[in-house]
Amino acid sequence: MDDDLRFKLLKKNLNYVYARVPHYRKAFKEAGITPDDIGGMKDLPKVPFLYKDDLRKYYPTGILAVEKREVVRYHASSGTTGKPTVVSYTQSDIRTWAQMVADCLRLVGINEGDIIQNSYGYGLFTGGLGLHYGAELLGASVVPTSGGNTQRQVQIMKDFGVQVLCCTPSYALYLAEVVERNGIDPHELPLKIGVFGAEPWSDSMRRIIEESLDIKAYDIYGMSELGGPGVGMECPNQDGLHVWDDKFIVEIIDPKTGEVLPEGEKGELVFTSLWKEASPVIRFRTGDITYLYEEGCECGSTDQRIGRLLGRTDDMLIIRGVNVFPSQIEHVLSKIKGVSGHYQIYVDRKGSLDEMEIFVEMTKDLFNDSMREILELKGQIEADMYAILNIKVKVTIVEPGKIPRSEGKAQRIVDKRVI
C-alpha cells in the first residue's frame, strides 16, 4: 500500500482516538504530544504504548470509542491471569473483520463452496465466530462443530466430506489420533487444508500434522485485542505471516527498552489498528515475540510479513536464572524419534532451587519396545535438553495417550512454584 495513504489512515485513527477515548487523550497528554505532533510514520515511536493492563481497567465494557448502543458484539480475551480484556465491535468492525478472515482463507486457496469444519470454540473466544463469519462471507459451507466431542467431530469430518479444518494445532493433532483410532485412512478423506493458530506451534509439529492428516497446514495469527483471528496469515509458501498493510501497522520493539528494532531482529510485536471503530488499539503491546521480514513475499505480496511466533514475553520461564522458552523444548523434542507431539512442562521449587520436569509421550511404535530402549530415549532427551538449555532437566517418558488432550489451547506449562 502507498506510504502516504497509509500515513493518512494512521493520522485519521490518531485523531479519532484522541477525540473519542479519554484513556488515549490522557496518555498522549502525559507523553506531551497531540496527534498534530505526528508528521510522518517516523514519528510513530513518539506515541505512547497501550498495555493489556490498561485495557483490563475498562472491564467489563472495554475501551470504547463509540456509544454503547453502537456495539453489536463483545468478545473477551482468554487470558488465564487477572480479569479478561473485553473487546467490542460495531457493525462495520464485524464486516471488516469477516473480510479480513475471508481474505486469509482465500490466500491459501480456500474457495466458495469448500466445506469447512470450524472446531475453534464458539463463545467469548474470538476463534469460533471469527472464522465462522469469514468463511461464510467467502461463500464456503461452514460446519460449526466448535471444540469438544472429538469422536463426533471425526464422524462429521468423514460424513460431510470436510475439505478444510480450522482449530488449534494441538487439537488437530488429537483429531488425527482419533481418525487413526477409528480405522479411517486420512488419504481417503477429502480433507486438504488446515488453518491452525491461537497457540504456538513449531514447523516440526506442522510436519507431523500434515503427514498424519494428509493436508497442508497453514498458520493463522490473531488476538482478541486486535479483533481476533485473521491478523496474520501464511500464504502457500509457508514462509512467514502476512499482515494487511491497510489494517495494521506492525512494529517490533525491544521489550525492555521499548525501542523500535530494525527488520530481522527479534522482539515484541506491537500493533496499531487502522480499521477498528469500537475498540481501536494504538501501539498495543502484544507480549508476542517474533521479527519483521525485510522484503515482500515470493507470492507477490508487498504487505508486512512477520515470522512465525516464537513465544511470549510472559511465557518465558526463568529456571535457576536461565531463560527458557517452551518453543525451545518443543524444538528439541521434535528432533527425536519415538516421541509424539504431546508433552507437558512442570516447574516446581524444592527449597530454593527450581526444578523442571518434562513429561514426554512416546509413540505407539516405541511403546512396544524394550525398557532399555525407553531408558535410552530418556537419556537422549535429557542430554539434548542440557545441550540447548544449559540446565539439568528431568524427563519422564509416559505411555501414549497419558498427556491430557486439549480441545482448544493446550496447557503446556504447569508452574507450581510459589514465589
Q: Which residues bind ligand DLL (CB under 6 A)?
A: 77-78, 120, 125-127, 197-200, 219-224, 228-229, 286, 288, 309, 312
For the bound state, the minimum distance from the C-beta of residue 286 to ligand DLL, rounded and expressed in Å, comes to 5
For the bound state, the minimum distance from the C-beta of residue 135 to ligand DLL, rounded and expressed in Å, comes to 12
For the bound state, the minimum distance from the C-beta of residue 221 to ligand DLL, rounded and expressed in Å, comes to 4
Nearest residue by C-beta to ligand DLL?
197
For the bound state, the minimum distance from the C-beta of residue 312 to ligand DLL, rounded and expressed in Å, comes to 5
Q: What is the DSSP secondary-structure string of 153-217?
A: HHHHHHHTT--EEEE-HHHHHHHHHHHHHTT--GGGS---EEEEESS---HHHHHHHHHHHTSEE
| Inter-CA distances, 376 with 125, 295, 338, 371, 379, Å | 42, 45, 11, 9, 5
For the bound state, the minimum distance from the C-beta of residue 121 to ligand DLL, rounded and expressed in Å, comes to 9
Closer residue to ligand DLL (CB): 28 or 171: 171
Closer residue to ligand DLL (CB): 105 or 332: 105
Contact predicate 358/326, CB 8 Å: no
Closer residue to ligand DLL (CB): 35 or 200: 200
Instruction: Tell which residue, 194, 198, 270, has the closest CA to residue 229.
Output: 198
Closer residue to ligand DLL (CB): 192 or 312: 312
Instruction: Tell which residue, 295, 387, 301, has the closest CA to residue 336.
Output: 387
Distance CA 277, CA 280 (A): 6
Closer residue to ligand DLL (CB): 35 or 230: 230
For the bound state, the minimum distance from the C-beta of residue 362 to ligand DLL, rounded and expressed in Å, comes to 26
Closer residue to ligand DLL (CB): 228 or 338: 228
Instruction: Tell which residue, 394, 305, 293, has the closest CA to residue 353.
Output: 394
Burial environment of residue 3 by CB neighbours within 10 A (0 to 12, 13 to 18, 19 or more): exposed
